[in-house]
Amino acid sequence: SENVDTQHYQKCAKILKDTFGYAEFRAGQMEVIDKILNGQDALILLPTGGGKSLCYQVPALALEGITIVVSPLISLMQDQVQQLTAQGVKAAYLNSSQDAEESQQITEQLFRGELDLLYVAPERLLKSYFLNSLQRVKVSLIAVDEAHCVSHWGHDFRQDYRQLGRLKSQFQNVPFIALTATADHATQVDIQHQLQLENPFVFKGGFDRPNIRYNLLAKYKGFDQVVAFVKQQDGAAGIVYCNSRAKVDDLTQRLQSAGIKCDAYHAGRDTATREFVQTQFLKDDLQVVIATVAFGMGINKSNVRFVVHHDVPRSVESYYQETGRAGRDGMPAEALLLFDERDAARIKQWISTGTAPDRYDIEMHKFEAMEAFAEAQTCRRQVLLNYFSDYREEQCGNCDICLDPPKLFEGTTQAQQALSCVYRLKQDTSVQYVIDVLRGKSIRRILDNKHNELSTYGIGKDQSDNYWHNIIQQLIHQGLLRIDMTLSGILRINESARAVLKAERIVHLAVPKLSVDTSKRNKAE
């Protein structure tokens, strides 16, 4: 790119070619690297496989001194270090899998300035003796991988990551780079805040996985549906996720009796068995693995053709990550979600009763976003990508909604009514309050606030609460509105809504399906 320093570019292109064997940078990589070489902090949001690692590995080699990489997963650390070493890079890791002698050796290498990259688990890095000893070496860059773990808004918050905020003050003149594959808007903001990144260069890559077809079926006899689906797959490899070990075991038996080569993977099986299942699957000796969420971290099998969710996941991040294990080779792949609102109600019940008070709002918000995805009547890919602030206006043509669309109507008027109501309420109220004003309810709070004097008061009284709830959800899905969870669920207007309010853009909405057709359901399940 023309904005990149020429000398930086030449130096880094040489490293890319000589060390990593690649001819060109992917979009964004060199821009990020350039900022780091200028000493600026960076925040990278790129999906798995997007090429995040080179964003700190190349600077690690270009800069004098050592790059510290914070990573939460021992297995990923080992993989990366093995790969780097094979490429001739001076890299090592320190984590709890090593004995004292090994870690002593690496510490000595560190002090002798023999390492370009050191991967460290957060709990080790933050030990005061270790931090103090780092003052004796030249640290040129600090990379925080899986940075969403630092945020309690993230879907995988880790206590030992939280403490990483202390680093910035210890390494004031060292650039920081934070990297993640999954972070909604609130998490992105919080990562910057927690790690105390200074005016970071933010790079967001495309989250789209165009070869994955997103599909949703109303769940009526889940196991039968999975068996039928797997039988249609002509032996192609796949993963089926369930939300309990018991279901995993049951479904495995069902699929085995149906003649499918498959096995179960969950934390209830011993390590050797789990490793065996994983290896068999990687070698294509098993067609299907039926698993809990314990399966998949760091799995690198490129020809997974389908991922089925027998049960709805707890967050969009999990769903995206789990479905993202399909189609790594770029060939067509399918993600099937079986959805039943009763499952959703049950999960909300669990969240209500089983969540620590400080986690309740977040878990509920995350799950409600997942539920909204399942209930969406607009392109699923749009909903998914909007969630990661990767806004796009085009429908994808490769999801169940695009392929079998619900009935659309020209809903510009309804959209304007809802949007202008949010606007007149100063983008400062909840969804339900907006609905109450639209429907002209004589509620104490509305009257106290004199919101009954707004021009939008009662303009939607001919429709039900349910109808407006659905319309507002659709406007969120289309990226015109968003829910700001950092302000406890306030409805806000996105920039793209301006054109709608000025009547410069037409909005198509789906005719809300206000009750679900349950006639095909088998009540016996």
Three-point CA angle 330, 334, 336, nearest 5°: 150
Measured from the CB of residue 16, what is the shortest distance to ligand ADP in angstroms?
6
Select 201 or 320, whichever has its Cβ closest to Zn ion. 320
Which residues have a Cβ under 8 Å from the Cβ of 374 and sit 6 or more positions away?
216, 312, 337, 339, 344
Does residue number 55 form part of the binding site for Zn ion (CB under 5 A)?
Answer: no
**Which amino acid appears at position 453 of this protein?**
E
Measured from the CB of residue 384, what is the shortest distance to Zn ion in angstroms?
9
Binding partner selected for residue 379 from Zn ion, ligand ADP, none, CB under the kind-specific 5 to 8 Å limit: Zn ion
With 0-12 CB in 10 A as exposed, 13-18 as middle and 19+ as buried, what is 136?
Answer: exposed
Q: Between helices 380-387 and 357-375, what is the axis angle to 10°?
A: 150
Helix (H) or strand (E) holding 217: strand 212-218
Q: What letter would DSSP give residue 478?
A: T
Does residue number 22 form part of the binding site for ligand ADP (CB under 6 A)?
Answer: yes
Select 317 or 375, whichever has its Cβ closest to ligand ADP. 317
Q: Are strands 490-493 and 176-180 parallel, antiparallel or unpaired?
A: unpaired
Stretch that binds ligand ADP, among 23-31, 241-249, 334-342, 495-503 (CB under 6 A): 23-31
Does residue number 54 form part of the binding site for ligand ADP (CB under 6 A)?
Answer: yes
The residue from 53, 98, 211, 395 that contacts ligand ADP (CB under 6 A) is 53
CB 412, CB 503: distance < 8 Å: yes
Binding partner selected for residue 51 from ligand ADP, Zn ion, none, CB under the kind-specific 5 to 8 Å limit: ligand ADP
Which residues have a Cβ under 8 Å from the Cβ of 378 and sit 6 or more positions away?
395, 401, 474, 477, 478, 510
Binding partner selected for residue 399 from Zn ion, ligand ADP, none, CB under the kind-specific 5 to 8 Å limit: Zn ion
Select 33 or 336, whichever has its Cβ closest to ligand ADP. 33
Select 148 or 213, whichever has its Cβ closest to Zn ion. 213
Q: Are strands 481-484 and 490-493 parallel, antiparallel or unpaired?
A: antiparallel
Binding partner selected for residue 54 from ligand ADP, Zn ion, none, CB under the kind-specific 5 to 8 Å limit: ligand ADP
Locus of tokens 């920081």: 176
Stretch that binds ligand ADP, among 18-26, 100-108, 269-277, 489-497 (CB under 6 A): 18-26
Measured from the CB of residue 372, what is the shortest distance to Zn ion in angstroms?
15
Q: Are strands 212-218 and 508-510 parallel, antiparallel or unpaired?
A: unpaired
Interacting residues with Zn ion between 361 and 400 (CB under 5 A): 379, 381, 396, 399
The residue from 1, 39, 49, 428 that contacts ligand ADP (CB under 6 A) is 49
Q: Are strands 42-45 and 176-180 parallel, antiparallel or unpaired?
A: parallel
Measured from the CB of residue 290, what is the shortest distance to Zn ion in angstroms?
28
Measured from the CB of residue 443, what is the shortest distance to ligand ADP in angstroms?
49
Measured from the CB of residue 303, what is the shortest distance to ligand ADP in angstroms?
16
CB 90, CB 115: distance < 8 Å: yes
Binding partner selected for residue 477 from ligand ADP, Zn ion, none, CB under the kind-specific 5 to 8 Å limit: none
Q: Are strands 91-94 and 117-120 parallel, antiparallel or unpaired?
A: parallel
Measured from the CB of residue 379, what is the shortest distance to Zn ion in angstroms?
3
Q: How far apart are CA 400 and CA 377, in angstroms?
A: 10
Q: Phi, psi (5° rounding) for residue 343?
A: -60, -45
The residue from 402, 443, 454, 501 that contacts Zn ion (CB under 5 A) is 402
The site for Zn ion (CB under 5 A) is made up of 379, 381, 396, 399, 402
The site for ligand ADP (CB under 6 A) is made up of 22, 24-26, 29, 46, 48-54
